[in-house]
Amino acid sequence: MGLMTKPVMVTEGDFSKLLSFPVQAGLNQTLTAQSTTANIKGTTIPVLGYQPNSLLGPTFRVNNGNALNILLQNNLSEHTNIHWHGLKIPALMDGHPDQLANAKGTFRYQFMINQRAGLSWYHPHPHENTGKQVFQGLAGLFIINDAEEAALNLPSGQNEIPLIIQDKRITNTGITYNPTTEEVMAGYMGESIVVNGVYSPYAEVSTRYYRLRILNASNARLYNLTFSNNADMIVIGNDGGLLKNPITVKEIMIAPGERLDILVNFGGTTMGTEIFLLSKEFPHGGDAQGKQSFRIMKFRVVIAVTDLFTVPASLSTINTIAASSAVRTRTFEISNAMEHHGYPMNDGMKMRHRINGKLFDSNRIDEAVTANTNEIWVFDNSKGDEPHPMHMHGLFFQVLDRNGGRGSKIASENGWKDTVLVMPGETVRVLVPFENNTGKFVFHCHNLEHEDDGMMLQYQLS
Ligand code: C2O
Ligand code: CU
């Protein structure tokens, strides 16, 4: 039997605060990790941010081929770094937990963008402190554009809305982060849902298609997104960019670290209509997740326009990699079943999140992989009772299949992924093309409490 973990219930606000957006970053950018303040629920409280007076950091919007030069200035009193989640960049620029900026120190990130369009993001990755630093405000978006995507004429400008969804635990003294043992098991969750750092927001929209670029930057909370008017969610992209073809669904799960690119049509609605993006209850979430429906934000339809946009039938080319091309299969036991079966309370094996029975050790290479080979990686949570979103650094993979639990791939698991949700009872197989980005990279559970607890290993590509 699992340790009793209880859901943290969400309390909705009144959706009266206008959604806002982080400022845009440049190709030459200083990001200053700092303690600052922000007004989130009517009071100004201490938070962390990469700029003064707000949570989060500026949004990068770059083109494939751009060169970036980013100085991390660490004004915190502890070390930090930046992982560029979803960027295919050299190991020494990736924000490995070994590569840190000391308190009051700096770290310079210089890299070229050499990948297709997509929504990536950035956040700290100092081992055992990632959860706290992200929860208290450090994260930002990184959007890559390219010519292929531009040619589709997808909704852009005001009609392309980035949404960073997070839950926070807010008191009038700050964003509380002090997980109990039970909260390390379930992951740390908050009662207040913020979007782009704004609690209970609304956005004004017109009667047309919008493109929603959604990131789940929560530490542990899963969302089962749907619209209150049951509008179609037209999934056009995910972690690694556009899908081959749009896939229409009514609801879709998003786990910490994952991204979604969705079209929604507010056409045909009358002025003043209010439509909520909400998270519906869902099965398989273990003891702590999926027990409640709650609203995340409101769209108010306020302008009537004529919209000539039609959803393209075909979006991009995705070369499906044959499973038979894999030279090797590696299986990762992520059930953490030993936590629950007969180990005495004082045993060292008790109460920790592991992969294949191991805790993170930066001095140990867990998997040695040969460049330019394909492998099948299997994440086995068949005996587990907690969801684990598994993330690999430095590459994108293709999801082959899922057995147990939900039993099949979901719409956003087509195309290219860097994070895949493995629910209790599930085994998910992914096809990983290791290219020639050699070096030492981590892979881990993106439930940040699990990650900080040690649910992270390393692969060395050579
Ligand atoms: Cu977004 Cu290693 O993580
Ligand atoms: Cu996990």
Tens digits of residue pLDDT in 374-411: 999 999 999 999 999 999 999 999 999 999 999 999 99
Q: How far apart are CA 184 and CA 451, in angstroms?
A: 10
From the alpha carbon of 257, which atom of ligand 1 is closest? 1
From the alpha carbon of 456, which atom of ligand 1 is closest? 2
Query: Which-ligand-closest: CA of 353?
Result: 2
Nearest CA to ligand 1 atom 1: 85
pLDDT at 10: 98
Cα 420 to ligand 2 centre (Å): 11
Query: Which-ligand-closest: CA of 332?
Result: 2
- Low-confidence spans in the chain with pLDDT less than 50: 1-2, 341-344, 348
Q: Quickly list DSSP for 38-77.
A: EESSSSEEEEEESSTTSSB-PBEEEETT-EEEEEEEE-SS
Residues found in the chain: 462
From the alpha carbon of 121, which atom of ligand 1 is closest? 1
From the alpha carbon of 125, which atom of ligand 1 is closest? 2
Cα 86 to ligand 1 centre (Å): 9
Cα 186 to ligand 2 centre (Å): 8
- Ligand 1 surroundings by CB, under 6 angstroms: 83, 85, 123, 125, 257, 391, 393, 442, 444, 446
From the alpha carbon of 85, which atom of ligand 1 is closest? 1
pLDDT at 337: 64
Query: Which-ligand-closest: CA of 336?
Result: 2
Q: How far apart are CA 303 and CA 12, in angstroms?
A: 26
Classified as helix, coil or strand, 313 is coil
pLDDT at 6: 86
What's the token pair of residue 10?
């969400």
pLDDT, tens digit, 9 for 90 and up, residues 280-333: 999 999 999 999 999 999 999 999 999 999 999 999 999 999 999 999 999 999
In this prediction, what percent of the chain has a pLDDT beyond 70? 96
pLDDT at 4: 60
SS (H, E, C) 314-352: CCCCCCCCCHHHCCEEEEEECCCHHHHCCCCCCCCCCCC
Cα 345 to ligand 1 centre (Å): 30
Classified as helix, coil or strand, 450 is helix
Q: Which of 348, 10, 354 is nearest to 199 (CA)?
A: 10
Residue 361 CB neighbour total at 10 angstroms: 13
Whether residue 73 contacts residue 31, with contact meaning beta carbons closer than 8 Å, is answered with yes
pLDDT at 351: 75
Residue 345 CB neighbour total at 10 angstroms: 6
pLDDT at 350: 58
Cα 87 to ligand 1 centre (Å): 11
Cα 448 to ligand 1 centre (Å): 9
Q: How far apart are CA 73 and CA 80, in angstroms?
A: 10
Cα 321 to ligand 1 centre (Å): 24
Backbone angles phi, psi at 396, to 5 degrees: -120, 150
Residue 423 CB neighbour total at 10 angstroms: 27
Nearest CA to ligand 1 atom 3: 85
Classified as helix, coil or strand, 256 is coil
